Amino acid sequence: MASLNDLRNGLIIRLNGTIYTITNCEHVKPGKGGAFARTKIKCLTNGAVVERTFRSNDTIEVVRLEDREMQYMYTDGNLFYFMDSGSYEELAVSPELMGDAINYLKEGLDTIIRFDGDIPIVIELPTFVALQIVETDPGVRGDTVSGSTKPATLETGLVIQVPLFVDNETVVKIDTRTGDYIERL
């Protein structure tokens, strides 16, 4: 259990059976009455952001998540299978937990999965991934306008905007946080 003074940005807590991370915490000590903390908390399972005020007498359960390095192996129907890099055990993950990570998964991709006991909570992808373009319009000679882009479909099915000079079967570097094209590899 944590006290009011222990609340800070990045702390992971459990409220009513749901795990949240504190994204913004402001401690307030009014001249009259008890101290409190005004926070914004983000649900780790669905990404919803909620504002919550904690008083000095509230009990706050701190959650310690365990990080495990796991490698994405394959998809079978609706489940995504990962292999623990240390113990070589397989883990089946539902699409609800995957979220936007589905757009960047490629066989052999190393990820970090955060666990609460034996329950997977969050999947963290590497900041950048290399994916091949399977379909895009050809660049036309003379299309040299700075900043012009065109749509391109990646091997995972994700459609992103790329510069005009990028062709089919080109491997590109993608930022998994924003989904933006970074460079060609």
One DSSP character per residue, 59-97 reads -BEE--PEEEEEEEEEEETTEEEEEETTT--EEEE-HHH
pLDDT value for 77: 81
Q: How much is the pLDDT for 82?
A: 94
What confidence tier does 86 reach under pLDDT thresholds 50, 70, 90?
confident
Residue 154 scores a pLDDT above 90 = yes
107-113: average pLDDT:
92
**Distance (Å, whole) CA 153 – CA 142:** 23
Q: What is the pLDDT of residue 163?
A: 87
Checking if the pLDDT of 23 tops 60, the result is: yes
Mean pLDDT of the chain: 88
Nearest Cα to Cα of residue 63 among 11, 22, 26? 11
CB atoms within 10 A of CB 119: 10
Domains in the chain (CATH in brackets) are: 4-62 (2.30.30.30), 66-124 (2.40.50.140), 128-184 (2.40.50.140)
Separation of first and last alpha carbons in the chain: 48
Entry pTM: 0.77
Percentage of the residues of the chain whose pLDDT score is greater than 70 = 95
